[in-house]
Amino acid sequence: MQVASCRWLGATCVRNLARVSSGSVFHCSDGSRCYAHTSPVTNFPKCELTSKRYPVTRGQFSQITGDDINFFVNLLGSHRTITDAAELEGPNTDWLGIVRGSSATLLKPKTTEEVSAILSYCNKRKLAVCPQGGNTGLVGGSVPVFDEIIISTALMNEVESVDTLSGVVTCQSGCVLEALDNHVSQFGLMVPLDLGSKGSCHIGGNVSTNAGGLRLLRYGNLHGSVLGVEAVLASGEIVNCLSVMKKDNTGYDLKHLFIGSEGALGLITKVAINCPSRPQAVNLAFFGLQTFEDVLSIYKDVKSKLGEILSSCEFIDASSLECVEKNLKLKSPISAHPFYMLIETSGSNSTHDEEKLNTFMEEALESGKVTDGTIATEPSRMQNLWNIRERISESLVIEGYVHKYDISLPLPHFYKMVEDMRQHLGTAVIRCCGYGHIGDGNLHLNITSKEFDQELMSRIEPTIFEWTAKVNGSISAEHGIGFKKRNFIHYSKSHSAIALMRQLKSLMDPNGILNPYKVLPDNK
Ligand code: FAD
Ligand code: MLT
Ligand code: ZN
């Protein structure tokens, strides 16, 4: 068995060195599949520095000195104060391999108190920092732009408690999503969030991005599931909002400021999450459809006929499926179609749920809205079908530079956006494809080209954001704003909302040391 080191997390991989077991699929030492390691781009050429590629100016922050390093070594020890350039390569580069910072320091605290001591020191010294979880973010928020100190939550991975009666889990922010889900599964619970990056992303990263994922339509978003947050402000002050109560109307609900603020208002150290019961019966259907009108019609039928057991409704177009087949050699279970849907049901009675889904498929086939389909009930077969959907992002990276857009659109406009962009870009790109969480109105529009090309970029942006704004969509449905979209936020947020965000930022982080150059637009 060949041993490979992790490009993103380097020798410091939180889940140990990844092992190549078959093809480009990586498994960690605990045997589970690791998505951050699955990208075939392990020999990725170093991408251009963000500070060179983009017009961005370093803020008035201090430069790190030997005295600063001594402070961190005294606090954490030298094994948790990383200054080795090779080890910093992964944490400086994002998952897509398209933004790269030049941080010379990565810190690995284990406790809230250590995070507090680090931030208090950095704030006094005016040293900028970049909080980092699993580094699977897709908007350039998780890596430094210049030389910000990376504060990794990799060693903050303790589960503090699981209340089996209420279903509330309290844990540190560095727990890997999949590991946390496995942990609560022994109590018959599940984390109400599931993403293709679950093998690497951290729960703190999930909360900081308000990640959506594959089952949002069933369990809602993290503003609902997260009951409590503990976070450290830029000053080092620890804000304890770690309620485990489902209802708590005592004053302003401050935890919401940290959910989705992408590390710009505080560093999340602990979370309390409401975990639903793990479903006993799960079934998955994979449908082929001829038109997008049929997709919308099936979505409507799914809601009315499978409503109480529906747990996921996903969409894939022909180009996305072709990309997975071509680049990852995955096989579609059905004949080629212009559109595909994955419909998952989760309930407590397998016979009832299976019957319902079978009847649904029969009726859909009879109506002609679905022209081919299959249903999986065994876990391994379901996983194979899910792989086709979950690994699209990985297959796209193989083609070169990925222009990744994550947009909310009213459903009648959902696929028109892909068609219009395809026509607009013509042969200038390798691929313009669409997939996503159709049940949430969330389109992932992806455009691949051989390499980064500024001219192509200016044909895509801001056109794509103007298009979105015209139909009252959102330019970021679930990935966040990060570095890449910060100067386009006005397409989805009013002037007054942005002004209030700026006020909150300066109240909570007066020196602007927390994840600078992210979320808010440049001061013009
Ligand atoms: P990181 O990437 O490390 O960080 C993300 C942001 O949060 C950064 O701004 C960072 O500074 C900040 N941050 C991280 N930890 C903390 C903390 N403790 N306190 C404060 N700020 C912090 N996203 C979805 O929403 N839905 C999906 O379905 C989905 N699928 C994906 C599939 C793949 C294959 C990949 C690679 C990514 C996918 N993503 C998806 C994007 C990404 O996985 C999520 O945004 C995830 O929540 C990021 O978690 P992370 O731990 O990797 O955070
Ligand atoms: C997904 O749903 O697959 C993710 O959000 C990642 C992506 O957009 O590629
Ligand atoms: Zn998604």
The CATH number, out of the four listed (3.30.70.2740, 3.10.180.10, 3.40.50.300, 3.30.565.10), of the domain defined by the range 399-507: 3.30.70.2740
Q: How far is CA 111 from the centre of its chain?
A: 24
State the distance from the centre of ligand 1 to the C-alpha of 369, rounded, in angstroms. Answer: 36
What's the CA gap between 273 and 506, in Å, rounded?
29
Domain positions in the chain:
38-152, 159-274, 281-392, 399-507
Give the residue whose CA is nearest to atom 3 of ligand 2. 390
Give the residue whose CA is nearest to atom 9 of ligand 2. 393
Give the CATH class of 38-152: alpha beta
Give the residue whose CA is nearest to atom 7 of ligand 2. 393
Task: Name the nearest CA neighbour of 203 among 252, 240, 169.
Answer: 169
What's the CA gap between 99 and 311, in Å, rounded?
34
Task: Name the nearest CA neighbour of 25 among 509, 292, 391.
Answer: 391
What's the CA gap between 357 and 351, in Å, rounded?
10
State the distance from the centre of ligand 2 to the C-alpha of 444, rounded, in angstroms. Answer: 6
Q: Which ligand is nearest to the CA of 8?
A: 1
Sheet holding 149-152, edge to edge: 81-82, 106-107, 149-152, 129-132
Question: What tokens appear for 444 in the block?
Answer: 């992932």
The CATH architecture to which 281-392 belongs is: 2-Layer Sandwich (3.30)
Task: Name the nearest CA neighbour of 170 among 185, 184, 151.
Answer: 184
Task: Name the nearest CA neighbour of 35 among 522, 452, 392.
Answer: 392
With a 6 Å cutoff on the Cβ, whether 393 touches ligand 2 is yes
Largest CA distance in the chain: 73
| 399-507 shares the fold of 281-392 | yes
Q: Which ligand is nearest to the CA of 408?
A: 3
DSSP label at residue 195: -
What's the CA gap between 212 and 413, in Å, rounded?
21
| pLDDT recorded at residue 22 | 36
DSSP label at residue 337: -
| Torsion sign over Cα 139, 391, 478, 184 | negative
CB atoms within 10 A of CB 470: 10
> To test ligand 1's pocket by mutation, which of 39, 50, 115, 142 has the most ligand atoms within 8 angstroms of CB?
142
Coil, helix or strand at residue 188 = coil
User: What is the enclosing helix (H) or strand (E) of 359?
Assistant: helix 350-367
Q: Which ligand is nearest to the CA of 478?
A: 1
State the distance from the centre of ligand 3 to the C-alpha of 353, rounded, in angstroms. Answer: 26
The CATH architecture to which 159-274 belongs is: 2-Layer Sandwich (3.30)
- Contact present, 4 and 26 (Cβ < 8 Å): yes
State the distance from the centre of ligand 1 to the C-alpha of 210, rounded, in angstroms. Answer: 8
* Index of the ligand 1 atom closest to the CA of residue 391: 34
* Index of the ligand 1 atom closest to the CA of residue 211: 25
State the distance from the centre of ligand 2 to the C-alpha of 393, rounded, in angstroms. Answer: 6
Q: Could you tell me which residues come within 8 angstroms of residue 73 by beta carbon, excluding any fewer than 6 positions away?
A: 81
Question: What tokens appear for 374 in the block?
Answer: 């299959």
State the distance from the centre of ligand 1 to the C-alpha of 12, rounded, in angstroms. Answer: 18
With a 6 Å cutoff on the Cβ, whether 109 touches ligand 1 is no
Residue with tokens 């996983």: 383
- If you write DSSP's letter for every residue of 72-120 in order, what string do you get? HHHHH-GGGEE--HHHHHHHHB-TTS--B-----EE---SHHHHHHHHH
* Index of the ligand 2 atom closest to the CA of residue 212: 5
State the distance from the centre of ligand 2 to the C-alpha of 479, rounded, in angstroms. Answer: 8
Phi and psi, residue 378, nearest 5°: -85, 140
Q: Which ligand is nearest to the CA of 517?
A: 1
With a 6 Å cutoff on the Cβ, whether 479 touches ligand 1 is yes
What's the CA gap between 397 and 8, in Å, rounded?
14
- Contact present, 95 and 36 (Cβ < 8 Å): yes
Which segments of the chain have a pLDDT < 70? 1-45
Helix 292-306 to helix 350-367 angle, to the nearest 10 degrees?
150
| pLDDT recorded at residue 523 | 83
User: What is the enclosing helix (H) or strand (E) of 19?
Assistant: strand 19-22
| Torsion sign over Cα 243, 248, 254, 257 | positive
Give the residue whose CA is nearest to atom 6 of ligand 2. 393
With a 6 Å cutoff on the Cβ, whether 140 touches ligand 1 is no
* Index of the ligand 1 atom closest to the CA of residue 258: 20
Taking CA 113 as the corner, what is the angle to CA 223 and CA 111, rounded to the nearest 5 degrees? 70
Give the residue whose CA is nearest to atom 35 of ligand 1. 197
* Index of the ligand 2 atom closest to the CA of residue 479: 5
* Index of the ligand 2 atom closest to the CA of residue 214: 2
What's the CA gap between 54 and 57, in Å, rounded?
9
| pLDDT recorded at residue 45 | 61
Question: What tokens appear for 362 in the block?
Answer: 């029969």
For residue 75, the one-letter residue type is: L
With a 6 Å cutoff on the Cβ, whether 444 touches ligand 2 is yes
Q: How far is CA 450 from CA 17, 397, 418, in A?
A: 30, 10, 19
